[in-house]
Structure 1
């Protein structure tokens, strides 16, 4: 009989297998990476474009163009695009992040021939009608006005700007930036960025030879190249900044602490992720145990390491009761000092190892997840051996090595500290 009063033994994940991407090219040399699974008659096509020609005077160009891609072409209105995509049971979305903009299509294979011409029309012939732009500006300004009343949003904006300044990673967007949007500028940026020589296509799911031929027919020809320059930024270590924006009526204060750090390409990245998990990277972390469970200062607190193309950064973020903000800060810094001066126990380290390996295994729930893992390495110039090294580091890193990383990267004298509310 199974004894349900006794917890099962921990078993470390032994192997994690990845569905690796296979590369091919369209007639115009656009690279296509296929992550194949034939289990379901479904395919996801991602058209990924690097953000280009950064202009501080026009910081919203890439964001607005991506958001308005499906607002109308010479052949189709925004309504017609939506209705035709819906008719075939497909799903179409756009997404902007600091380094790239993407267009993603989910569709059944049997409808691929019907929906690809619609996507091609959007990607190569978007018009950005003035009336749609006016609506977009109005909506975004209202959204910004609401967000600027939220302490956590303000702390995130102030923190990014303090670290990365007036780059795509840190520019401080204001309502005036939306007012300055011009249709001609969007059309010009669209022609530069959404071009075949700036495109990578990632196909995942049941994407077979016939599907590739359909893709090549639409996107392998009659698509004009451009001379756009991919965004490239460089950052020096920033000095400690203390930013405080008082809100006398605030019941909670938003705290964000951290500094510029390393990204995925650095040899210390895997180890630093393990260290971060111990400190604040999961529900059982030290920051959660102290600030939430023991002190009751917050509903949630966490830390993380974000990897961008040209930089990385470490951060701790939370919202605490305004009356305990100062005490919460003391406890946060206390936990950092403990992790720098005391070795992590084997019991805690084993728990974190199991959590991280289990999380990675759990994140590979379907073929689209495998494609996402491929994107993480491809766009940073890494290979699949990155994951093997990562897994090996999680399994073998010692408490002494983690302590060395803590003293190397958790230099609190260099941390930027942002508080919005009361302290």
Structure 2
């Protein structure tokens, strides 16, 4: 048993209990103060730069674009295959969701168990996800097992069979997951927001209905695979403790047989957001409301993007933002509020979101609009900009410090026509932004009149208060 420790002078060290005594624990405020006043915080140290590797790029004859980066440290490799996967057909969302759920359930030479066993043998795994813009296959494994990982990848994208029994099983599971998801307030709010800002554009079809999934057949999945899962226009990204030239040769050997005469289908740009009234969406019996506001933003390519990024952080992009200080710390309306930039084909949009109790919905909306207006009328101070800058640079470098983070960033940037040079230069761009430049983009992009959005909640409870604020339409 451990007893109270003593220092060399024979006195009990602070914080250790003495048998038989009942010491008074100091509060956090007492710990943070001295007789001379509050303990000063130490100055922030210099931000440590994360060295970024060179990226070797090669395009196969099939049109598949391959990006490979040597990132040692751990003997692993990260893989990201991004395939543009848009479709206008009403059933496309349901078929593509079921395709992503069953792609790894069997090929002409491997069944589901065989795929899992082969991946486990090299410490690897693969997963599939899909949205209105892309299908992505991602995974990782031991670096020495890259040929095996690529072999399984090539097998599933060239000869997946979608066994009827597996499709039926996954179809039932997907319907159940959709049923649960569609009962969640955040899902309801997201779908309402997408319709409000983008109308009936295919980008809004992020989740199919259970009835649509129930109607999907294995033959439809196989037909979509043959037509849409193609290499031309797709991007394969590898990051890890690998030799770049050898990795490209391994990709060429494994995926050289993946060919098609057509290019993968890119999602068309959605319509620009039109500012206007918020739409009140009735959710009977809800005890909470979801506030979702949105406005146009800037792409990464724009020279003002770094200033917009800092303005967003000051407003609501991290815990020390104005919005969080107001509606969480001061008013206690919510546990969290957030704003951020979301990238869409050909553009970007700002989003502001928070969930609050029904009885403070109008008050929270009022304060959110107030903070938007205050950011334009009372520009960020130099101290606010410096704090946001430190957070932006630090969080970017942390996100790139792992193989997986770098692989995901490279894949997303490549799809947007950017590369490793943009990442290398971005910390310097953030450092160069002036407080005046942040104020300029705040005035242009955070004006309350630039926004539209939705308020989801029980209209019988929140409707009168919300309508009294103006700028609200709906039941």
Deviation of the 1:139 alpha carbon: 1.9
Q: Which moved more, 1:199-208 or 1:296-305?
A: 199-208
Deviation of the 1:291 alpha carbon: 0.5
Is 1:92 matched up with 2:96?
no
Deviation string, structure 1 residues 360-382 (Cα, Å, up to 9, x no partner): 12222223322333223221112
Residues 61 and 186 in structure 1, CA contact (< 8 A), matched pair in contact too: yes
Distance 2:264 2:68 in 1: 26
Is 1:368 matched up with 2:404?
yes
Is 1:194 matched up with 2:229?
yes
Q: Which moved more, 1:154-163 or 1:111-120?
A: 111-120
Match of 2:416 among 380, 393, 397: 380
Distance 2:48 2:238 in 1: 29
Alignment of 1:23-422 (within 5 A): 23-26=57-60, 28-171=62-205, 173-208=208-243, 209-221=245-257, 223-387=259-423, 390-422=426-458
Secondary structure in 2 matching 1:381 = coil
Q: 1:240 to 1:57 in 2, by over 3 A?
A: farther
Deviation of the 1:312 alpha carbon: 1.5
The answer for unaligned runs of 5 or more in structure 1 is none
User: In the alignment, what sits opposite 2:22?
Assistant: none
Residues 231 and 263 in structure 2, CA contact (< 8 A), matched pair in contact too: no
Q: 1:387 to 1:213 in 2, by over 3 A?
A: closer
Q: 1:198 to 1:69 in 2, by over 3 A?
A: farther
Q: 1:39 to 1:225 in 2, by over 3 A?
A: farther
Deviation of the 1:14 alpha carbon: 7.2
Counting matched residue pairs gives: 421
Deviation string, structure 1 residues 257-301 (Cα, Å, up to 9, x no partner): 112433323333222111110000001111111100100111111
Deviation of the 1:353 alpha carbon: 1.2
Deviation of the 1:317 alpha carbon: 0.8
TM-score under structure 1 length normalisation: 0.91
The answer for unaligned runs of 5 or more in structure 2 is 1-33, 463-475
Distance 2:66 2:425 in 1: 26
- Relative contact order: is structure 1 or structure 2 higher (C-alpha 8 Å, sep ≥ 6)? 1
TM-score under structure 2 length normalisation: 0.82
Residues 58 and 177 in structure 1, CA contact (< 8 A), matched pair in contact too: no
Deviation string, structure 1 residues 396-421 (Cα, Å, up to 9, x no partner): 32333222212211232342231222
Aligned residues: CA RMSD: 2.5
Secondary structure in 1 matching 2:341 = strand
Deviation of the 1:316 alpha carbon: 0.8
Q: 1:195 to 1:333 in 2, by over 3 A?
A: same
Q: Which moved more, 1:9-18 or 1:292-301?
A: 9-18
Q: 1:92 to 1:387 in 2, by over 3 A?
A: closer
Deviation of the 1:325 alpha carbon: 0.6
Deviation of the 1:241 alpha carbon: 4.2
